[in-house]
Amino acid sequence: MIGASACLFALAAPALSADQAWFRFRGFSEDGTLAAWETGGIYDGSGFPWVRFEVLSTESSLTQTEIQTVWEDYEDELPKKALQESIEREMSDVCREFGIIPGNIGDLLVYHPVTDLAAAPDSAVFCLQSYSPSYNSGEITVVLKSVPAEQKPGYPDWFPSPVSPVLEITAGGEKQCLFSEEQPPEQYEMCFGYRIAAIYSNPADSRSLLVVLHAEEPGFEGSDGRFRVVSGSF
């Protein structure tokens, strides 16, 4: 799931044979060079709730800082509100430290929730501005490709091999690379599948895009749905 105000916790949800994370985009910094987002869910094997928060550079797509919390000792009688308020304070403090402005999310140009089975997984066609249904700023196409990534020791061989995402963009008849990498960062090196989930425009630079990707990785009893965020300019 993806949304502007996703719940931090689903503590009463039962553990299933695989799990799908939720996503919330927190916002950009005033100068657009940083962005913050969070994700979380319930681990399918243990049933423990978890939350991960990341601040990334929109220039390099590299993580600048992150918070990851797993409530291994959670019990139903513990106050859910207190847990939620604690992690929310911590994330808010990091946003202030890095100059992230909550709600400064630019324009949501593309949105494909994981429930949208008809959406093309590897392409999106959109415009930066629409002045009327038949008049816009010009068609832009983003194409997602996957290239083989290094398989680390211990990777379960009953899942597809890991891949790295490559994003190509065509605007004004010109094609160029929006995002690529030599090797995925450690937290994403086991991802074996990607789909386009959403695309945001950077409010500080209309030629800079933030792309949210549905990611799939090995789980306890099946594949798990996760998210990854990358950025690029054209």
CA distance 81 to 79: 5
Residues in Cβ contact with 35 at an 8 Å cutoff, skipping those fewer than 6 apart: 25, 26, 27, 28, 29, 55, 56, 58, 100, 202, 210, 229, 231
Element (H, E) at 53: strand 49-57
Q: Do residues 53 and 94 make contact, with C-beta atoms less than 8 angstroms apart?
A: yes
Using the structure block, give the residue that is written with the tokens 């949208």: 116
Mode of pairing for the β-strands spanning 193-202 and 140-148: unpaired
Q: What is the pLDDT along the chain (234 residues), one digit of tens a residue?
A: 454 333 433 333 444 446 899 999 999 999 999 999 999 998 877 778 899 999 999 999 999 999 998 877 655 555 567 777 888 999 999 999 999 999 999 999 999 999 999 999 999 999 999 999 999 999 999 999 999 999 989 899 899 999 999 999 999 999 999 999 999 999 999 999 999 999 999 999 989 999 999 999 998 878 999 999 999 999
CA distance 201 to 183: 25
> In the numeric block, which tokens belong to residue 168?
């190509």
* Total Cβ atoms within 10 A of residue 49: 22
Q: Is 227 exposed, middle or buried (0-12, 13-18, 19+ CB in 10 A)?
A: buried
Q: Do residues 231 and 39 make contact, with C-beta atoms less than 8 angstroms apart?
A: no
CA distance 220 to 18: 7
Query: Residue 186, SS3?
Result: helix
Using the structure block, give the residue that is written with the tokens 């494909």: 112
* Total Cβ atoms within 10 A of residue 31: 11
Q: What are the tens digits of pLDDT across the range 52-78? A: 999 999 999 999 999 998 877 655 555
* Total Cβ atoms within 10 A of residue 70: 14
Alpha carbon distance, N-terminus to C-terminus of the chain = 28
94 HSE (CA, 13 A, CB side):
23
